[in-house]
Amino acid sequence: LLLTATKMATGLPNSFQPGPLWGNGPTPGQIYNFPGGGANQHADEYGTQRTLYPSVTTTSVLGVKFKDGLVLAADMLGSYGSLARYRNCPRLMKVNDTTVLGSSGDYADFQYLSSIIKQRVVEEDCLDDGFGYTPPGLHSWLTRVMYSRRSQFNPLWNTYVVGGMHEDKSYLGVVNMVGVAFEGDCVATGFGAYLALPVMRDACEKNKKMTEKDAIELLERCMKLLYYRDARSLNKYQIAVVTKKGTEVRGPVSANPNWEIAHMVKGYE
């Protein structure tokens, strides 16, 4: 009876019926399922596994607003403990034409979450409904993700900086590994929060109408300062510039350090 009904409805036998348009794809309107989110098949044998100590870590991300946009900077060193092991680890990710993301902390967790964000961007493009990720939206979503993982006692060991343009205004926000989030005109993560942020704040107070050139020169100065003082930094970094025209990730670039006075620095032996 079912076969007869199918033939009557379509005029075709079941063997000629088309399959699903996207059998393994996401279902529009449903909650996103993270990869690897299922039950651990080895949990009974080994117990539940958690990241207790990140293996490859990265250091500071700097961000500052200027008159018509914002600039982010981050070096490309991945440290294996205290060993400067990986020297080509990009940490600035262009999400779309209005949004850029920077990460410090565990590099593997950043790779995991960045792959999810890229897939979600593709899914948004496939829906073609006129909506996409905005800087406040991505910042809010990251806050929920980080807090959710923290509540499961399995955090992502990262601090993220989200920057971009929203409604013709620049947006700059930070969220850490437990979901604490805030916004600011100039932000820094890692060791940069102690060394570079005071320099950036002083420059912003003295120059209220900072241009793109001024902002880039400020971050270049701060990246050189971190290279001098932070043992986990490297003189090879990327710069992301976000304006109304779009998003551009530049680099890698290098500063010109000067070690002539290094022999005069004493008391740290």
Show which residues are catalytic: 51
Amino acid present at 162? V
Burial, 96: exposed, middle or buried (Cβ in 10 Å; 0-12, 13-18, 19+)? middle
Burial, 174: exposed, middle or buried (Cβ in 10 Å; 0-12, 13-18, 19+)? buried
- CA dist 114 to 142, 219, 241, Å? 11, 24, 19
Q: Tell me if 9 sits within 8 A of 1, measured CB to CB.
A: no
Chain centroid to Cα 67, Å, comes to: 23
* Packing angle, helices 197-206 and 212-229, rounded to 10: 150
